[in-house]
Amino acid sequence: TSECYRQLRTNLKLSGESGQPHKTLFVTSTAAGDGKTTVAVNMAGSFLSEDNRVLLIDANFRRPMSNRLFPTSRANGSSEQQADYGLSNYLMGQCTDEKQIIRSTDIGGLFVVDSGPLPANPSELLSSDRMKTLLDRCKDQFDYVIIDGPAMLVSDAKTLAAQADGTIVVFNAATTHRGAAIRILRELRNVNANTIGTILMGVRSRKGGYFREVYRSYQDYQRAAIQQQPV
């Protein structure tokens, strides 16, 4: 598994224009439980192994995970830096400085923004100028900003995908069907998201079968995107 994420890290570092890496990476999936948080956290760990400063933003207001995976010092007695607010507090204007929502963790180089309380209008907040400003400021402070967002079932995901430098879609071999994969990729293209890759979780090592089916769906998407480009 660690080798897979090292290969992913290398590919992401070379995915930008002129070989420059994308700094803000949005991770989404077809549905909840597909493994996108696992991918986001392991991506962060892979970048940390090269002494990068990494910020993990939990933008999944409905199913937050960062406070469980990286408990605050109130919960575990550690000396890590506290954050007074979460992402939703910042976007609603309840705090003005991004430093108020960024907290350190027990892992050197890894910082976290918790989701905060569930707002009444997630999509509007995530598409706001404050969200764009936050990402721009964080890009100046960190080598990589990884956004662990909601699944594509909700409009929040499309909003975030349109703002990130690159989007990574997680499919699950046990639950994602080819038609759903194609639909998700098409929706991302419709909002001008820069889909830089897909990850298939839960693959059984055998020739052909499901892996070939989902991989073909991504090929179909890429082929359609190329055909739509002006000559």
Q: pLDDT tens-digit profile of 37-80?
A: 999 999 999 999 999 999 999 999 999 898 888 887 544 444 45
Q: Where are the beta strands (DSSP E) in 124-177?
A: 144-148, 166-172
Token pair 């979780």 is found at: 201
- Residue 221 reports pLDDT greater than 60: no
Cβ-in-10-Å burial (0-12, 13-18, 19+) of 137 comes to middle
Residues 183-196 have a mean pLDDT of: 93
* Dist CA 218 CA 19 (whole Å): 22
153-187 burial string, b = 16+ CB within 10 Å, else e?
ebbbbbbbbbbbbbbbbbbbbeebeeebbbebbee
Least confident of 56-60, 104-108, 187-191, 227-231: 227-231
pLDDT for 202 equals 76
- What's the predicted TM-score (pTM) here? 0.82
Distance from C-alpha of 114 to C-alpha of 27, rounded to nearest angstrom: 16
pLDDT at position 17 is 72
Q: With a cut of 80, say whether residue 151 has pLDDT above it.
A: yes
Report the share of the chain in percent with pLDDT over 90: 55
- Given a cut of 80, whether residue 211 has pLDDT beyond it is no
What rounded mean pLDDT belongs to the chain?
83
Domains within the chain, CATH numbers bracketed: 23-228 (3.40.50.300)
pLDDT higher than 90, residue 8: no
113-134 pLDDT tens trace: 999 999 999 999 999 999 999 9
Residues 176-180: what's their mean pLDDT?
87
| Residue 87, helix vs strand vs coil | helix
